[in-house]
A = this chain, B = another copy of it.
Amino acid sequence: MRDANREWVFAQRPDGEPDMDSFELRESDVPEPEYGQLLVRVRYLSVDPYMRGRMRDAESYAEPWSVGDVMAGAVVGEVVESRSDDYDAGDVVTGNGTWGDYSVLDADSVAPVDPSIADLPAYLGVLGMPGRTAYFGLLEVGEPKPGDTVVVSGAAGAVGSVVGQIAKLNGCRVVGFAGTDEKVEWLTDDLGFDAAVNYKQVDDYGAALDDAAPGGVDVYFDNVGGPITDAVFPRLNVDARVAVCGQIAHYNDEGVPTGPRKLPQLIASRAKVKGLLVGDYVTRFEEASEQLGEWVATGELGHRETVVEGLDNAPDAFLGLFSGDNIGKQVVRVSDPADD
């Protein structure tokens, strides 16, 4: 068991594309839990695109980080010291922690992890916030109906891969956009997508959509923005629904990006476009976790995690999100029981 802690600190606001200068690894003492808290040995930590927003000095849904803050995010880990009656040392839990060897978590904000359903990293993906985002975003904003054509951008990511599969479970035709042939094969061969487009190998996204979704688009689940989204909008069917979950193509833009105006395209289709934050559904998280857990346990919901080894590499894992390094959920393995 490590008797000291290391943690990544937000060192500098990025201008455009972030790089290693934004991060600094600091040695510190192992933190002390207060009453109601748990000291957790982090096994896996989550890196997520939304974290780029917290690096901006601008009010948004997630509080901006101050330079000097410890990087925060979802973790899975083992309780080493409990100051709560609800958990004991040895329990495996997930919750919002830090990019460190150890995290202190409030006991009332964590959830237990059941390794018999899935390995620990899945609790940061399909059984964590990304899975719940897919669940509520697709079902509540996308409102899929049997026979609908559902298009997903960032389809091989942590959210997109779950969206497409839930759409299939709802009787939809599903088309995904992803950035490598390996991702495309995973979507179509393993996850049951009806079609997938490697957008890095295609010049004309509109023509690719006309091939893959000849009847137009009823639901668009957007994780990406940019030219893929530009191609989808003119192909939205009457009363289509667009869930705007992420816009990773624009997260590193400085200033307001420009592109084709989309509002004129909404009148004829009467399409609905709605922004999505999973936190709005917090009172229904249990419903989602139960359903997702059941689908994972029965094998109806496939999942995959890209594991980057070692806390040292957490910034690289984060930066890799913007170049599409990950298939499924990108996580960092911080420790292993054998290391303790």
Cβ–Cβ < 8 Å partners of A272 in chain B: 272-274
Instruction: Indicate how many identical chains form the complex.
Output: 2
Given contacts A272-B273, A273-B273, A274-B272, contact A261 B267 (CB under 8 A): no
A: contact size bracket = 20 to 34
Question: Is A47 in the interface zone, CB < 8 Å from B?
Answer: no
Residues of A268-293 at the interface with B, using a CB-CB cut-off of 8 Å, are 268-277, 280
Contact B259 A225 (CB under 8 A): no
Contact A273 B263 (CB under 8 A): yes
Cβ–Cβ < 8 Å partners of A271 in chain B: 274-275
Residues of A233-262 at the interface with B, using a CB-CB cut-off of 8 Å, are 244-247, 250, 256-262
Contact B280 A263 (CB under 8 A): no
Given contacts A258-B260, A259-B258, A261-B257, contact A277 B267 (CB under 8 A): yes
Most buried by B among A261, A264, A270, A272: A261
A269 to B276, CA, bound (A): 8
Smallest CB gap from A272: residue in B: B274
Given contacts A257-B260, A272-B272, contact A267 B247 (CB under 8 A): yes
Question: Is A266 in the interface zone, CB < 8 Å from B?
Answer: yes
Contact A250 B261 (CB under 8 A): yes
Contact A259 B257 (CB under 8 A): no
Contact A267 B280 (CB under 8 A): no
Cβ–Cβ < 8 Å partners of A275 in chain B: 266-271
Q: In the complex, what's the smallest C-beta–C-beta distance from A11 to chain B, in angstroms? A: 25
Smallest CB gap from A275: residue in B: B266
Question: Is A60 in the interface zone, CB < 8 Å from B?
Answer: yes
Given contacts A259-B258, A272-B272, A272-B273, contact A250 B266 (CB under 8 A): no
A261 to B244, CA, bound (A): 12
A-B contact pairs, 26 of them (CB 8 A): A60-B268, A61-B267, A61-B268, A225-B261, A225-B264, A229-B263, A244-B263, A244-B266, A246-B267, A247-B261, A247-B264, A247-B267, A256-B261, A257-B261, A258-B258, A258-B260, A258-B261, A259-B261, A262-B263, A267-B275, A268-B277, A269-B275, A270-B275, A270-B276, A270-B280, A271-B274
Which 6 A-B pairs have CB atoms at the shortest separation, nearest pair first?
A: A266-B275, A270-B275, A247-B264, A273-B273, A267-B275, A272-B274
Question: Which A residues are within 8 Å of any B CB, using their own CB?
Answer: 60-61, 222, 225, 229, 244-247, 250, 256-264, 266-277, 280
Given contacts A60-B268, A258-B259, 15 further A-B contacts (CB under 8 A): A225-B264, A229-B263, A247-B264, A247-B267, A257-B261, A258-B258, A262-B262, A262-B263, A267-B275, A267-B276, A268-B277, A269-B275, A270-B276, A272-B274, A273-B273
